[in-house]
Structure formats: C-alpha cells, structure tokens
Structure 1
C-alpha cells in the first residue's frame, strides 16, 4: 500500500488536469482522482475552447518567463506539439505594451523574432487581409512571429487521456458540496447523486465556480469564503463559418489582437477543414470581461457566478454581448466585415484575481483543502507546466516567492498581468 497521500482534484480544466498528470508522474503509486461535471473535456470549463493563444508577450516579466517555459513544451513535447501552430501574433496598440514586451525579452536575454512597426508600415508589409482594418487611434503594431495558438479542446483531451493512461481515475459527476470532519478539516465531496468521494487532500481547480462551491459548502465559515480574492468573469466569443473561397485566407493570418477601443478584441485562424464539404471556421473574441453578481442567501454574500440556467446559458448571449462582439469583427475586417455574420456564440467563464496572479495555495483555515485556480483569462497556455507548481505546493516545496505571489492572502498593488480583462461590467447592464 502506498504511503503517499490520496488526492481528489475537483475540476478537469487546465489546472486540474495538469495537477493530476504531474502528481501521477511523480507518485505513480498514489491515488489521484479527477472529478468534473461531465465526461471530459467539460464544455463549461474555460479550458474548453476551439483555440487559445499561446504567447509569452507580457509586459509582466514574471509571467513572460513562465510562459517561455511552457511554450518550449508546446513546441517540442510530443504530447503538446501536434496541437500547436506558430502562426505569429500581431497586436494593434495605443499604449507602450509592445515596447515593454520587447524590453522584457531583452532583460531575459531571449532572442525573439519580434518588432514594432507603424500602422502604415504594417499594412504595406502584411498584405490585403488588413486593408480595411481600423487603425485610427493606433499608436503602433507589435509583431512577434514566434507566438501562435493551440487547438484547445483537442490538447486538453489528449492531456487528460495521458493522465488517465498513467493511472489517474476520472469520474464524471456534478459536485454538490465539500464535506468536512468534526475538526473542520475537508474530507472530500458529496456529489449531486449522493455519492461521497473522499481523499487526504482535496484540490479545488474549480475556476469560476469556486466562490459558489465554498459558499454552498460552508456558508457560516467566513474564513473559507473567496471574499473578493477572485471574481467569476465572462468573455464573449463567436465562430464564423466561411466557404473555401473566403475562408482560405484566414488559415494564413497571424493571431490578431486589436487593443484599441472600440474594437478591443481578437481573431484567430483555425486549421483548414478536413474535407471540402466542411466550412472554414474562424473565432472572434471580445477582450472585455463581464460579471454576474448574485446574492447567496445562505451565507449572505454577494459575488459573481455563472448563470444557474442549463449549461450556464453559454450558447445564448444577450443582444448586448453580441453587439460587443460585432465591434471586434467590424473593427478588424472593416466594411467587408459587416456582411459577415456569426454562426455560433459562446460565453466563456473564468476566475479572475485582482492582480491576475493565480491562486495556488493551501486554504489556510481548512486542513486538507487546497486551491489551484485563478487563470484570469491568461492561464491556459501554462497547461504543460502549471501542475508542477501545484504539486510543489502540495508537497510544501514551492519556492517562497511563488507561494507569496500565488497565496490565499497577498498584496493587491493595483497592477496586473492581464488587467484589461478585469470583470467590471455587469452582464445584465448590457
């Protein structure tokens, strides 16, 4: 029998799957149990998507360094490499973010195929796709040919398969509440169908559902509550299906991020269809986050939480959200974009912290309970590596500087690694 503690990980997104994978690789004899609401990959998770940006282009030096570590695996590891595409990325800016990013690469001594050009020079160099793009109020364009994107759902599925094939147990059940012993320690979970699942260490990788789960589980224990440490935030994304004549050009474009209002969003290329009968599908995303503040009666709290409707109403955004996404499409495609209509929408929820730092920590007021969450709309790219840090936290060997940065209680200095996606707008007000 293994002397290693048993582990129960709630949530099979990036944080949960990466933790399970790294745990079972380090401790092959350990009991590692991964639970999520549906068979994997759960489409309600932020980690499920058509695609995600993979880049190290941060104005924050710390996350640039961590992203470079992850990108090396996206490029080289056989587990991740099949899903990664180095398309390049361009960012249309009205700030100094591009210059700050280049300066950070220099500080780290990293050679990168990146530059900053004027909007006019950019249009000359990068062809007809951007002919109608709105460059008004743009200061410059940051270009990095070393960045790219990954097929999100496919990569997450392969990673989960690898964890299960290595010995992780997966269960598809919806969690009702956490369970506690008489001493207040967390002992496991109770599922909606009445199943008790126990372990020595319970890891919450529950993203946007974290605040509600803690409030439902222990409404009278104020020291267990999120209390602003993270906020459930949502972004609106949409898919456009194009015929081969109009769609082929999108397979060759870089990830395009337009950071200037009113556009504020991005378009990402998708791989060409598998057959001539299938459309070319292109994803747009609005770079603006929204919240859904609700009153939790049992605990007396107010916090943001995904809608309680079936499937969180993620495929049925309100008209205000649709109009916000139209701004992205029309700003990047220009006048021709007004003829392009969205075929599918998705509201994507994530857990956002005030500084966009992750939460990777023991819950200081509850023995046996740990958290690995707070992706803050930039955590997905760290999928290959983030679990190593969670395992170090569980082992008590996480570097003290990281433990402080990713702790339950930490300073909020007003900055952030991804501050433009703080959820400050109520969804109902759109």
Structure 2
C-alpha cells in the first residue's frame, strides 16, 4: 500500500539518518535535501574525516566546469559564473566526437541549439575567445555553450555546510567522523548505525555512504568502482595580467586539457586531460572475505607533499603553451593529485547495498558529480523513501561484473602511480614550493 503524504511527513520527522562523507559533493547535497524535505535536523548526522568542505572531497576545489545547460540556477546563483564554455577539438577523432555531441543537443528537442553554437573555424572561435592564439588553434572546431561556465566549488559546499550547521544538523569529524564499519542487527541483514575509528557509535534507521573516491576502500563494492586521480596546477597572475581574462569562457579540448578564468586573487587553474592514475594496494574493505587489489586514494590532507608525476608536468605545460602561451614563463604551484571514483559505464552507484538493508550507497561519480550538486541529494532522498524514478533506479543499480571500472568509458585505461615517478615526496615539505602555499578551498578533483 502506498504511503500517504501525512505518513511520509511523520516518518521524515522521526527518522534518524547518518550521512557518511557528508563534507563532499553528494553527501552535503543529500544532507541539504533531507532538511528541505522535512527531516528533523537534529536527527541528521553528518560524518566526515574533515569538516565541510572536506579536505578529502573532490568538490573542495577552486572551480568546476558547469555543464551545457544549468537546470536549477537559483540554488547555485551566488557561486555560478556564466562565462560560457568553449568545447574544442582538432584531431579527426575529436572532431567526430564533437559533431556527435552537437547533434545530440539538437536531437534532444528542447531548444538546446538556441544556446549552443557550432564554430567551424578559428575565426569563429576567436570571436568567442580572442585571447587564444590563432597559430595554436588551426583547424580547430568548437561548440560554444552560452549557458555554460564555472562554479566556485568549495565555496558552494561551504555554503551548504553553514546552512546545515545553522539548521541544527549533528556533525562528527576527525576520528569521530571517520567510518570504520556499519553496525548490523544480530542476523547481519540490516544496518542500524555506524561505528567510527575512535569507537564512537551512531545509531539510525538509515545510513548513506557518500564517501566519493574512498567508498570502495570502506565497504566491499565487488569491483564496481575504481578510484583514480587526475591532476592540475595553478598559475599566479598579476592584476594587470589577469584583467583581460575576466569573464573569459572555460576553454576545453579533450586532447589537451582545459583552464578557467583567474579567480579574485589572480589564480588560474590549468588541467590536462588523460584517463587518470590509480594507486593499487592490497586492502580489505568491510564485507570483503579477504584483502584484494584496490585503488586507494592519497589525499593531500594526509600526504601534503604529494604532487603529480613528471609526465603530468609535461602535459600541463603543453596545455599552457597551447591555451596561455604568454604565461609559459610563470612558475607552477599547487601541483595536485585529485581523486574520483569511476564505474564501468560512468553512471552513478546509488542503491541499497544488497547485503545490508538500510545501508545506502551514493557514489560512483566518474568525474561528473559536481554539476549535480543542486539536485543529486534530492534523488538520494527519493531512493531512501522508495520514490526514485524507475529509469534512475535502473541506471544506478547494484551491477557487479558489468564492464571494467578500471577503464570505464574513457579513451584508455588508467596508469598506476606505482609505475610513475616524480609525485611522491614523503618527508620533503618544500617540493616546488607547492605545499607551503596551498590555498583554502583547493585540493579536489578538476
């Protein structure tokens, strides 16, 4: 029998919910939507190793690309910068992919062709982004998204954290917020709470694991997620250097990388584009019968001297030479590894764990979850209440053995950090000057 609206409202008021990894993108969005949907704030507990925005979250970053069409501008308006987005290609394969992407926008039948413009040559590209150098974009094609731009990522998550705190949500951070295991009923079939590494026990009717790249290290996901690192570095511009780039569109080329306009301090983030780095170790997550090879993230919060492989220095500098040649002389800083977790098909993993009732998984971002910040928590709450739309439930279901999360849908497989040199500087606290000038709100996935 269907739940009546009044019964659902009563259930929301009395149900206790724990959000593990609540300092990140999916977790903070989930906590926000629990409160918006009428859950009693004091019955919602957010756990994370670090306070919001978590230093281990992919969302704790300077900026993120926002997609071609933003469907909920109200929620993100203070943090969204509608500069436009320029998606470019120059290789034969890249141009074919771009043409397919543009046709899919037209075929969607919702008017996206009105806000997405095909640019057929460098003249048309330079009209949209005159700061690019003509000699560097010969034979390029592009799509210019008028609705695109970038989001001040860490600031957006921080604003959610302030809202949750003001609302009266409960928090556990540090060892008291770091997941150890689910608390189960005597028969082991249902979750009734969470124990953290310091031995603190939190009891609740529902627990949600939204720990991003750390999810497959915490509970057994049977190989459905593989955590990978991507890289970026920062350039510091003077006020006069930064001025021409104010409100410049995000420029992205799938064969090279992308960059954003300078922030208010004149910092530009530059990223390369590649299939990612893994970090495999023998590790036994909760629920696994034995230790297994799992890609285990290394956060800068816990490994402050990590930078990125020497190969990434070459690719980042290539991106700068292509997009920003006038700044090739600038010293790079805050060279960073940043972690997400891929599924085989790049769809989210949002479902109840099949072994433990009331233990909900909300992970598998595949590098794309931040654009979902306004609404993904709404979907998690719908799953929690048995109201998630059928197509989403099917796409985000428990699905071990269906494809290879190591490669996912990317052009090639990830390379393991164990095979790379130049990124690990344990014991060295002044590598390239990077770690000593790390900015607040920086350290997440590009």
Task: Classify 1:428/1:327 alpha carbon distance in 2 versus 1 (closer, same or farther; 3 Å).
Answer: farther
Q: Which residue of 1 aligns with 2:297?
A: 306
Moved more, 383-392 or 23-32: 23-32
Counterpart position of 2:382:
392
- 1:190 counterpart SS class: strand
Displacement of 1:287 after TM fit?
2.1
Q: How many residues align?
A: 393
Deviation of 1:229 after TM superposition, in Å, equals: 0.6
Query: Structure 1 132/227 Cα, relative in aligned 2: closer, same or farther at 3 Å?
Result: farther
Offset of 1:233 from its aligned partner? 0.9
Map 1:14-413 → 2, pairs under 5 A? 14-29=25-40, 31-56=43-68, 68=69, 71-73=70-72, 75=73, 77=74, 79-93=75-89, 94-111=94-111, 112-126=114-128, 128-131=130-133, 134-135=136-137, 140-174=141-175, 175-181=178-184, 182-184=186-188, 185-214=190-219, 225-260=220-255, 264-271=256-263, 273=264, 279-288=265-274, 289-296=276-283, 299-307=290-298, 311-313=302-304, 316-334=307-325, 336-409=326-399, 412=402
CA shift at 1:306, angstroms?
0.8
- CA separation of 1:421/1:388 partners in 2, compared to 1, >3 Å: closer, same or farther? farther
Q: 1: distance between equivalents of 2:403 and 2:293?
A: 24
Gaps of 5+ in 1: 57-67, 215-224, 274-278
Q: Which runs of 5+ in 2 are unaligned?
A: 1-8, 421-446
* C-alpha RMSD of matched pairs (Å): 2.7
Query: What is the rounded CA distance, in whole Å, between the counterparts of 2:308 and 2:351 in structure 1?
Result: 34
Does 91-100 or 377-386 show the bigger shift?
Answer: 91-100
Query: Would the aligned equivalents of 1:350 and 1:377 in 2 still touch at CA under 8 Å?
Result: yes
Structure 1 counterpart of 2:434: none
SS of equivalent to 1:143: strand
The offset of 1:164, in angstroms, is: 3.1
